[in-house]
Structure 1
Amino acid sequence: MADADISPLTAHLGYWLRLVSNHVSHAFAGKLEGRGVTVAEWVLLREVHDHRSISPSRLADRLSLTRGAVSKLADRLIDKGLLGREPSPEDGRAHSLALTADGRTLVPELAGLADSNDAEFFGDLTPDDRATMERVLKSVVAGCGLKTPPLL
């Protein structure tokens, strides 16, 4: 193939998606770091927030993570006082994860950071452009069968 036949990087949608994604993700990670939380920890906290308590195995399934990865994240969040383990109501040998009072206070603050990060990068889009972008991206996700939430 001749050099003239090689498409430039900028000819690929993936290039533009990655450019935007890297900047959005890096900015959000920095905002979370200021609150002492990683993106992966935020995702786990946000998922636990939607349940009164949830088993680590169910959480692993919902986040497409291994149980070991959930355990490591949970341990870090327990050490930070944001998550706690409680006996499972269904099985006394098992445990569930639940937010502590500090965790319940922090999650809405972190959600606000996510909202402001979104506004920072996408606030200049018209509502129609934003809806179109969301529709197109969701179509790609569905068409490719993508399921794993972005944790990094």
Structure 2
Amino acid sequence: MTKMSPHNALILDKFLPYRLSVASNAVSSRISSSYRKRFGLRIPEWRLITILAETDRATPASLGDATRMDKIAISRAAATLIERGLVTAADNPADGRSHFLSLTEDGRALYADIAPMALATEAQLFTGLSKQECATLEALLRRIEAAALSGDSD
């Protein structure tokens, strides 16, 4: 058994992937709590609503690519939103195994309520950062994401 020196020891609280995960979970938890109370939505559902508002329509596969959520989470969220009358599904003539999801009028109205709340939460979370720091953080997160996506999937 190799003995770890202080220089090569993994200290979880200092491990950047862990810090990113903890920060992400804290932000998601805060958002989830308010969206669940006010709109009856879980995080995967509000993500789908937001993507569909931005894209007009999308396949479950493209929603998975955009959100990095797995197929099961996409399927469950879509089924819930369809059941609530917030999303519709239409056949995809180019692929008989797939379908397009789109927001209904009620879904668009809900998005119109969610968007200002999301932006207010974002502003509140980043109150202590300058505009330049926010821009730098976004750029760094995009670089980390790109590096993670381009790495080997061992």
Other-structure match for 1:29: 32
Quote the offset at 1:136 in angstroms. 1.5
Other-structure match for 1:135: 139
Contact 1:53 1:97 in 2 (8 A): yes
- Percent of aligned pairs with the same amino acid: 28
* Secondary structure at 1:27 match in 2: helix
Q: 2:15 aligns with which of 12, 36, 41?
A: 12
TM-score normalised per structure 2: 0.74
Write the deviation string for residues 110-150 of structure 1: whole angstroms up to 9, x where unpaired: 2222212211211220112112211221111112227xxxx
- 1:118 aligned to 2:118? no
Higher RCO structure (Cα 8 Å, ≥6 apart): 1
Write the deviation string for residues 53-83 of structure 1: whole angstroms up to 9, x where unpaired: 3344444454455655433322210111211
Question: Which stretch of structure 1 is more off in the superposition, 64-73 or 45-54?
Answer: 64-73
Note the 1:98-109 alignment, pairs <5 A: 98-109=102-113
Other-structure match for 1:149: none
Matches of 1:100 and 1:53 in 2, distance apart? 11
Are the structure 2 counterparts of residues 26 and 59 from structure 1 closer, same or farther at C-alpha, using a change threshold of 3 Å?
closer
Q: Give the counterpart letter for 1:10 in structure 2.
A: D
Write the deviation string for residues 16-41 of structure 1: whole angstroms up to 9, x where unpaired: 32332222111001111021111101
Unaligned stretches of 5+ residues in structure 1? 147-152
Contact 1:28 1:113 in 2 (8 A): no
Quote the offset at 1:50 in angstroms. 2.5
Quote the offset at 1:2 in angstroms. 6.2
How many equivalent pairs are there? 145
- 1:82 aligned to 2:86? yes
Q: Give the counterpart letter for 2:130 in structure 1.
A: T
* Secondary structure at 1:125 match in 2: coil
TM-score normalised per structure 1: 0.75
Are the structure 2 counterparts of residues 121 and 2 from structure 1 closer, same or farther at C-alpha, using a change threshold of 3 Å?
same
Contact 1:53 1:98 in 2 (8 A): yes
